Amino acid sequence: MKLKSMLKRFAFSIDRFKRANRIEKLYFAKEYFECAAICKESNQSSKGDFFTHYYLGLSNQKLNLIDESIKNLKDALKHIKNNNSQKSIGKYVNYARHEIAMSLRKQRKYQEALDEILSFIIFDPNYTSFYIVKAKIYQDLEKSEEAFDSINEGLRIEPTNTDLLEFKNSLVYFYSVEQVEKRR
């Protein structure tokens, strides 16, 4: 009886892997409608799958369905504990968090985006992309000093990060332009 149960679980794992692989291929082939349809179908049959919620969220984001995207990505985060290989999905988890904050920023829900990104930084303070998102939000709010502080926080963690350094350079430029305009 145990062997039959083990074989059943193994077959389920293989099916889940094949489905995740197909979904990922569709997403990267920019077949967002088909990817979203398969994800929705899969979510109805296996509610606890991180990747189907994750790729549904990313597909909805590409389809400009931002509210649905945020919901799907948050659902993916709720299903982390249901994934047997939690360590291997770490980068996906951080990217999902990153995209939630960016989507909220896109909707100009700045305070909500800041609240989310600050909680994500507490969860993983070494993920430097969070500091860039935080700086972009502050830049949108025309809070240049806070944007600089955010970038500098990230640079303390990873001093040679090119994304952080490039964004800092763009902040310097915009800050200079801002100061010139104030003097006029």
Cα angle, residue 90 at apex, residues 54 and 40 outer, rounded to 5°: 15
Mean pLDDT computed over 100-105: 96
Mean pLDDT calculated for residue range 93-112: 96
The pLDDT, as a whole number, for residue 83 is: 58
CA distance linking residue 23 with residue 4, whole number of Å? 29
Cα torsion through 87, 137, 62, 67, rounded to 10: 90
Residue (of 129, 168, 165) closest to 147 by Cα position = 168
The CATH classification of domain 22-183, taken from the options 1.25.40.10, 3.50.50.60, 3.40.30.10, 1.20.120.420 = 1.25.40.10
- Of the listed ranges 13-27, 54-68, 165-179, the one predicted with least confidence: 13-27
Give per-residue pLDDT as tens, 48-97: 688 899 999 999 999 999 999 999 999 999 888 665 555 678 889 999 99
pLDDT-based confidence at residue 105 (cuts at 50, 70, 90): very high
DSSP assigned state of 158: -
Give the percent of the chain with pLDDT over 70: 86
Residue ranges covered by each domain of the chain = 22-183
- Report the pLDDT value the prediction gives residue 181, as an integer from 0 to 100: 78
pTM of the full predicted structure?
0.81
Q: How many CB atoms lie within 10 A of CB 140?
A: 13
pLDDT above 70 for 5: no
pLDDT, tens digit (0-9, with 9 covering 90-100), for 121-145: 999 999 999 999 999 999 999 999 9
Q: How far is the C-alpha of 68 from the C-alpha of 132, rounded, in Å? A: 24
Question: Which two three-digit tokens encode residue 122?
Answer: 């507490």
pLDDT of residue 57: 96
Between CA 140 and CA 147, with CA 144 as vertex, the angle to 5 degrees is: 80
Indicate if the pLDDT at residue 15 is higher than 90: no
pLDDT number for residue 18: 81
